[in-house]
Amino acid sequence: MTRDNPGLDAAVTVSAVISRIEMPAVALAALEPCDILNTEPEVGQQPILRLTVGASTIALASIAKVEGKLVATIIENRPELSERKGDTWKVRKPKPPTD
Amino acid sequence: MKSRVIAPGGEAPRKYELWRPIIQPQRRVIFERIHNRVAESWSHTMAGYLPGDKRFEFEGLGFEVFRDFNAHQGEGSQVVVFAIEQAQVTGFLLMSGIVGRALVDARLNIKSTAAAEAKPSFTRIEMGVVREAIRVMLARLSETYVEVGLGRLGGVRDCERLGDTLMFAPEDYLAVLRFRIGAAADDLRVTVALSSSAINAVHENQHIARTRRGSELEHIAGQLPISVDVVLGAWKTSIRELQRLRPGDRIILPDGDDGWLAADNVKLRLGSIRFDGRITNIEMKRSARLR
């Protein structure tokens, strides 16, 4: 007989992280409304979603649009494989309107 | 019969011009440091206007008579005059036409032609971009002058021709501060000129050195990498539910309209997230800072 562990019912907040990048503090601070931050995975054809709790990645998932909804499909739930390399990034400034 | 003695091969001696300003070397050094800071500040703030990875460089301090300076104003150049009431100094910022053209091209992502570079002219929108660039530069200049105790720029007005400023007599000596964008050969120059009394309004104290060290530290800190997460959304669940997750399981995600950037789980900016193949775009929202 297995005993149920009530600790497993504790609530945690899961975040869906679509990209993880490293950028200089000054570039982060300089982001302004309407600026567009582009990120791109260093490897792979699609962004990979990280499900994170606090600082830990608990699973990786692919994402796809299904019937207009964004759906994540778990592809890996072993933390030891979760250490992916960060994505690349660049910032585009909005263009002022022209005549 | 009158005669003059002239050294062999030398020029005729000139009378000493009593109105020439006397500049103490230490003050000159401080004045140059101040304008190195201005160049740094412009490079940082004007990144969206500068072509490629070019930066503003402070070329140096010189003294010129307004009359000579006025004679060399190039076509298409922009002049903005100002006053620093606290220091009782007047001055102007002069941007050459090709600098204006380069800033507009970089800002609007326009591929410039040789003809446009040779004889810069601007549409109404482009002129708006030039004026905005000058406004930003003056704001940074003013900030720096306030920090070093010179005072705030005021009485700012545009002026088509230097001769129309009516703020300088032809024989006035000006402290001329030359800046360039990128390499010297690019010939992209911006000039700030102040009535020469400005240099004596600078006090020999440690304020500049202290501020500069702070600025260097700030610069180094600004380059420190921060790990940033682009987050589609978050939700609460139990550890038990998480333990049950298996490859192939599906989760419906937030659509990304209300995403955010976070560092160490601290929300930094709100944004709208979109996907374009392997590229993820997050457009920053016009929202108040979160922290």
Q: What is the pLDDT of residue B289?
A: 46
**CATH classification at residue A27:** 2.30.330
Pick the range with the lowest mean pLDDT from A1-10, B39-48, B56-65.
Answer: A1-10
* Type of residue at A41: P
Q: How far apart are CA B179 and CA B144, in angstroms?
A: 15
Higher-confidence residue of A59 and A77: namely A59
pLDDT confidence band for B159 (50 / 70 / 90) = confident
**B217 interfacial to chain A (CB closer than 8 Å):** no
A4 within domain boundaries: no
Looking at the fold, whether B91 and B233 belong to one and the same domain comes out as: no
Contact, B45 vs B116, CB < 8 A?
A: no
The boundaries of the domain holding residue A46 are 15-92
Q: What is the pLDDT of residue B218?
A: 76
A-chain residues near B227 (CB < 8 A)? 20-22, 86
Pair of tokens at residue B116: 């446009």
Q: Is the pLDDT of residue B7 over 70?
A: no
**A24 interfacial to chain B (CB closer than 8 Å):** yes
pLDDT confidence band for B19 (50 / 70 / 90) = low
Judged by CB atoms closer than 8 Å, whether chains meet at B229 and A17 is answered as yes
**A48 interfacial to chain B (CB closer than 8 Å):** no
Q: What is the pLDDT of residue B112?
A: 72
Bridge-based pairing state of the strands A69-76 and B250-252: antiparallel
User: pTM of this prediction?
Assistant: 0.50
Of B222, B240, B267, which closes a domain? B222
**B242 interfacial to chain A (CB closer than 8 Å):** yes
B53 within domain boundaries: yes
Q: What is the CA B8 to chain-centroid distance, rounded?
A: 49
Question: Which DSSP symbol is given to B162?
Answer: G
Judged by CB atoms closer than 8 Å, whether chains meet at A96 and B128 is answered as yes
Contact, B86 vs B155, CB < 8 A?
A: no
**A6 interfacial to chain B (CB closer than 8 Å):** no
B189 within domain boundaries: yes
A10 within domain boundaries: no
pLDDT confidence band for B85 (50 / 70 / 90) = confident
Of B169, B201, B222, which closes a domain? B222
Q: Is the pLDDT of residue A16 over 90?
A: yes
Q: What is the pLDDT of residue B290?
A: 47
Q: How far apart are CA B55 and CA B181, in angstroms?
A: 6
* B253: nearest CB among A19, A59, A63: A63
Distance from CA of A63 to the nearest CA of B (A): 9
Q: Is the pLDDT of residue A7 over 80?
A: no
Q: B104 in the Ramachandran plot: left (φ > 0), alpha (ψ -120 to 50) or beta?
A: alpha
ipTM: 0.84
Looking at the fold, whether B271 and B146 belong to one and the same domain comes out as: no
Q: Is the pLDDT of residue B38 over 90?
A: yes
Pick the range with the lowest mean pLDDT from A59-63, B61-65, B128-132, B167-171.
Answer: B167-171
Q: What is the pLDDT of residue B118?
A: 66
Q: What is the pLDDT of residues A62-98, one digit of tens each?
A: 999 888 899 999 998 765 544 556 778 888 877 766 6
Distance from CA of A31 to the nearest CA of B (A): 7
How many domains would you assign to chain A?
A: 1
- Which of B12-16, B155-159, B215-219 has the highest mean predicted lDDT (pLDDT)? B155-159
Looking at the fold, whether B150 and B35 belong to one and the same domain comes out as: yes
Distance from CA of B272 to the nearest CA of A (A): 9
Q: Is the pLDDT of residue B192 over 90?
A: yes
* B225: nearest CB among A14, A22, A49: A22
pLDDT confidence band for A2 (50 / 70 / 90) = low
B280 within domain boundaries: yes
A98 within domain boundaries: no
Looking at the fold, whether B123 and B262 belong to one and the same domain comes out as: no
A49 within domain boundaries: yes
Q: Which of A28, A71, A83, A99 to mutate to test the interface with B (most CBs of B within 10 A)?
A: A28
Q: What is the pLDDT of residue B204?
A: 54
Average pLDDT over residues B67-72: 72
Looking at the fold, whether B74 and B132 belong to one and the same domain comes out as: yes
Of B222, B256, B276, which closes a domain? B222
* Type of residue at B111: K
**A97 interfacial to chain B (CB closer than 8 Å):** yes
Looking at the fold, whether B114 and B238 belong to one and the same domain comes out as: no
B173 within domain boundaries: yes
Neighbouring residues of B65: CB distance < 8 A, sequence distance ≥ 6: B170, B171, B172, B173, B174
pLDDT confidence band for B203 (50 / 70 / 90) = low
Distance from CA of B257 to the nearest CA of A (A): 12
**A17 interfacial to chain B (CB closer than 8 Å):** yes
Contact, A54 vs A68, CB < 8 A?
A: no
Q: Is the pLDDT of residue B48 over 60?
A: yes
Q: What is the pLDDT of residue B136?
A: 92
Q: What is the CA B76 to chain-centroid distance, rounded?
A: 20
* B268: nearest CB among A28, A33, A77: A28
A97 within domain boundaries: no
Looking at the fold, whether B44 and B124 belong to one and the same domain comes out as: yes
pLDDT confidence band for A3 (50 / 70 / 90) = low
**B234 interfacial to chain A (CB closer than 8 Å):** yes
Q: What is the pLDDT of residue B134?
A: 93
Q: What is the pLDDT of residues B95-117, one digit of tens each?
A: 988 899 999 988 888 877 766 66
Q: How far apart are CA B233 and CA A69, in angstroms?
A: 14
Looking at the fold, whether B115 and B176 belong to one and the same domain comes out as: yes
pLDDT confidence band for B199 (50 / 70 / 90) = confident
Q: What is the pLDDT of residue A42?
A: 76
Pair of tokens at residue B265: 């789980």
Q: What is the pLDDT of residues B223-269, one digit of tens each?
A: 788 889 999 999 999 888 888 889 999 999 998 889 999 988 888 88
Judged by CB atoms closer than 8 Å, whether chains meet at B234 and A16 is answered as yes
Average pLDDT over residues B17-28: 68
Q: Which residue is closest to A28 within chain B, CA to CA?
A: B226
**B275 interfacial to chain A (CB closer than 8 Å):** yes
B97 within domain boundaries: yes
A54 within domain boundaries: yes
Looking at the fold, whether B66 and B200 belong to one and the same domain comes out as: yes
Q: What is the pLDDT of residue B18?
A: 55
The boundaries of the domain holding residue B245 are 229-284
Looking at the fold, whether B218 and B234 belong to one and the same domain comes out as: no
Looking at the fold, whether B30 and B145 belong to one and the same domain comes out as: yes
B164 within domain boundaries: yes
Distance from CA of A51 to the nearest CA of B (A): 9
Q: How far apart are CA A38 and CA B109, in angstroms?
A: 17
* B221: nearest CB among A8, A25, A55: A25
Distance from the first to the final alpha carbon of chain A: 76
Looking at the fold, whether B235 and B177 belong to one and the same domain comes out as: no
How many domains would you assign to chain B?
A: 2
Q: What is the pLDDT of residue B116?
A: 65
Q: What is the pLDDT of residue B3?
A: 46
B19 within domain boundaries: no
B6 within domain boundaries: no
Q: What is the pLDDT of residue B252?
A: 92
**B266 interfacial to chain A (CB closer than 8 Å):** no
Half-sphere exposure in the Cβ direction for B127 (13 Å, CA) = 10
